[in-house]
């Protein structure tokens, strides 16, 4: 059994949050290494103490169950089908689900499991990232980390149900999509800087307040690479960890986020585990928010 901050339980029925690792980085277009993130998070989770957050909430009662990692062997198609099926199984526990990538391509089958689980409910996706990931095909692939939300609007939901935050780079085809899809919400990194995170939180809340369920995907490169150097596609000009902590906390506190992933942390590219520790700080805040949510 993995020991998450001394908060792990022995069976999934006892928990409030389910964790599943997706150790895959075959969809990255630049530097690999993200497949090692789930193991790194678990390693740090053994030593990350005390378990307390900005609101001085001390988590003492165990409530986390870790399902381990998905087997990523075989072809790309076989591995992604296994991710979808395992994620669907985990979702059926009825808990808050936290998936640990992996590069951002793993969100493609996770989105499919999300739609499969939620059925006809009103669903939305919040996508924190430096990039849109709206390319139809990238480096000859339709399932790369640059295709994540294009596959979502092809197979899962309407463009109106998507919100991006932290964007500061775009391919020409992505810019064309944004001009065409007027109701696809974008809060750029510049917007966060100019408006402040509280105003951005208000905009996110207003968009999704009437939704039944939301999938929140968090690419660590939403942070400026000065705070998160260990990632495969760094892009200067990102948001700060303080802004990210506040945004994540309000989103989970105020909206029906039931499924979330953290992707693109690449330990081999990191310096002194700075990026992994940044992700662990977010994980800690997620655990605190979920443990207090009614």
Residues 183, 41: Cα–Cα separation, whole Å: 36
Confidence of residue 275 (pLDDT cuts 50, 70, 90): very high
pLDDT of residue 50: 57
Determine what percent of the chain is predicted with pLDDT higher than 90: 76
The domain spanning residue 73 has which CATH number? 3.40.800.10
> What proportion of the chain, given as a percentage, has pLDDT over 70?
98
Confidence of residue 53 (pLDDT cuts 50, 70, 90): confident
Whether 5 is covered by a domain: the verdict is no
Count structural domains, the chain.
Answer: 1
Other C-beta atoms lying within 10 Å of the C-beta of residue 74: 11
pLDDT at 49 over 60: no
Q: What is the mean pLDDT of the chain?
A: 92
* Confidence label for 51 from pLDDT (cuts 50, 70 and 90): low
Q: What is the pLDDT of residue 52?
A: 63
Q: Does the structure show a pLDDT above 90 at 141?
A: no
pTM, whole model, 2 decimals? Answer: 0.95
The answer to the question of residue 27 being in a domain is: yes
Is the residue at 3 inside a domain? no
Identify whether 1 is part of a domain.
Answer: no
**Domain range holding 142?**
12-292
For the segment 156-175, the average pLDDT, to the nearest whole number, is 91
> Is the residue at 6 inside a domain?
no
DSSP H helices, the chain, are 37-45, 76-91, 107-118, 148-155, 172-180, 189-195, 197-208, 241-254, 274-292
Q: What is the mean pLDDT of residues 254-275?
A: 97
pLDDT in the model for residue 2: 80
For residue 2, is it within any domain? no
Is 4 a domain residue?
no
Please give the Cα distance from 100 to 39 (Å, whole number): 9
């Amino acid at each position: 059994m993995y020991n998450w901050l001394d908060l792990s339980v022995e069976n999934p029925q006892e928990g409030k949050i389910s964790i599943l690792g997706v150790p895959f980085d075959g969809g990255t277009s630049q530097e690999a290494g993200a497949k090692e993130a789930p193991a790194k998070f678990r390693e740090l989770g053994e030593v990350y103490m005390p378990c307390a957050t900005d609101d001085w909430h001390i988590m003492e009662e165990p409530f986390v169950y870790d399902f381990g990692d998905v087997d990523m062997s075989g072809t790309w198609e076989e591995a992604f089908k296994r991710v979808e099926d395992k994620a669907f199984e985990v979702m059926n526990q009825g808990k808050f689900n936290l998936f640990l990538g992996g590069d951002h391509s793993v969100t493609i089958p996770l989105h499919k499991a999300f739609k499969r689980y939620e059925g006809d409910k009103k669903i939305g996706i919040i996508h924190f990232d430096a990039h849109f990931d709206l390319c139809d095909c990238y480096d000859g692939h339709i399932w790369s980390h640059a295709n994540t939300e294009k596959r979502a609007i092809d197979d899962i939901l309407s463009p109106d149900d998507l919100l991006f935050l932290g964007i500061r780079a775009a391919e020409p085809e992505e810019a064309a999509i944004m001009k065409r899809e007027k109701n696809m919400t974008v809060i750029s990194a510049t917007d966060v800087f100019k408006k402040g995170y509280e105003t951005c939180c208000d905009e996110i809340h207003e968009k999704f307040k009437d939704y039944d369920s939301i999938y929140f995907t968090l690419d660590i490169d939403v942070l400026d690479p000065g705070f998160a150097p260990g990632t495969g596609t760094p892009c200067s000009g990102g948001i700060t960890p303080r802004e990210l902590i506040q945004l994540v906390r309000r989103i989970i506190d105020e909206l029906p986020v039931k499924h979330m992933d953290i992707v693109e942390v690449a330990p081999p590219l990191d310096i002194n585990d700075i990026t992994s520790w940044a992700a662990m700080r977010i994980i800690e805040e997620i655990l605190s928010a979920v443990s207090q949510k009614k």
